[in-house]
Amino acid sequence: MNKSPFYICSLSGGKDSTAMLLRLLEENLPVDMILFCDTGLEFPDMYTHLDKLEKYIGRPIAKIKAEHSFDYYFSEIPIKRGNPEKFRALFGKDYNGYGWMGARMRWCTNRLKDRPREHFLRNLRKKYDIRQYVGIAADEKYRLERKNNQRSECIHPLVEWNMTEADCLQYCYERGFDWNGLYNRFKRVSCWLCPLQSLSELRKLWEFYPELWEKLRRYDEMTWRKYRADYSVKELEIRFAFENECLAKGLSIRNKVFLLL
């Protein structure tokens, strides 16, 4: 049975996917659905951006969520430990949940994005020949080597248009989208609590978003796994406060080694 093509614009809400969506619509290319996977961990300004985007384009954005929240996977889901006695001895008690994610254990992406998206698309594939627009910028071609981006249903308009990340941001700015200054502070504006952020971006989170940082501190107290290999959230606070003292005295904080004893 021949299936009709169904074009989905995969929207993260960031500069690249937003620029891709806007240009697709401006050039009257087929877009049957705009799909956003909501982790619940976006910056508040990102949700404001999505509302503004919907009004601008005059079309709804389909928003899907995982079966459970981040909190559930982080600290509530029952986990069967390989050696519960050793775990209890190391951390003082039993803990549920996966704890903080890391470079080798990005359970957040799997549980909060990939699984719900694939479950949603699986049902659509029964009826349609799915074509996905994916917002990979022209200067991020290395991402095309990833298996999930090599699927035949994926289309990469930004690469075809030779639009770089800088081009995408400027394209959005010219149309009135500024994310309330998020890109003035951060290079990436995905999940605000990600441990894989650079220290400089975590410093900005600490400095400019105290309410989010307070939530980060509470999360850190709920799990056994250290926030980063080098710092807990409390240790980051100590470092950033010390850096502020140095800056107030006119001292450089570049290339400093911090030992927390």
Q: Are residues 53 and 144 in the same domain?
A: yes
Model pTM? 0.89
For the chain, the domain total comes to 2
Q: Are residues 17 and 96 in the same domain?
A: yes
Residue 27 maps to which CATH number?
A: 3.40.50.620
Supply the DSSP symbol for 58: T
Q: Are residues 68 and 188 in the same domain?
A: yes
Name the residue type at position 159. V
Q: Are residues 187 and 221 in the same domain?
A: no
pLDDT digits (tens, 9 = 90+) for 242-261: 988 888 888 777 766 565 54
Q: Are residues 154 and 208 in the same domain?
A: no
Q: How far apart are CA 139 and CA 130, in angstroms?
A: 26
Q: Are residues 62 and 170 in the same domain?
A: yes
Q: Are residues 90 and 125 in the same domain?
A: yes
How far lies 235's CA from each of 36, 67, 159, 211, 220, in Å?
A: 34, 33, 41, 18, 11
Q: Are residues 181 and 208 in the same domain?
A: no
pLDDT digits (tens, 9 = 90+) for 145-175: 666 666 788 999 999 999 999 999 999 999 9
Domain that holds residue 251: 197-261
Secondary structure (3-state) at 151:
coil
Q: Are residues 106 and 231 in the same domain?
A: no
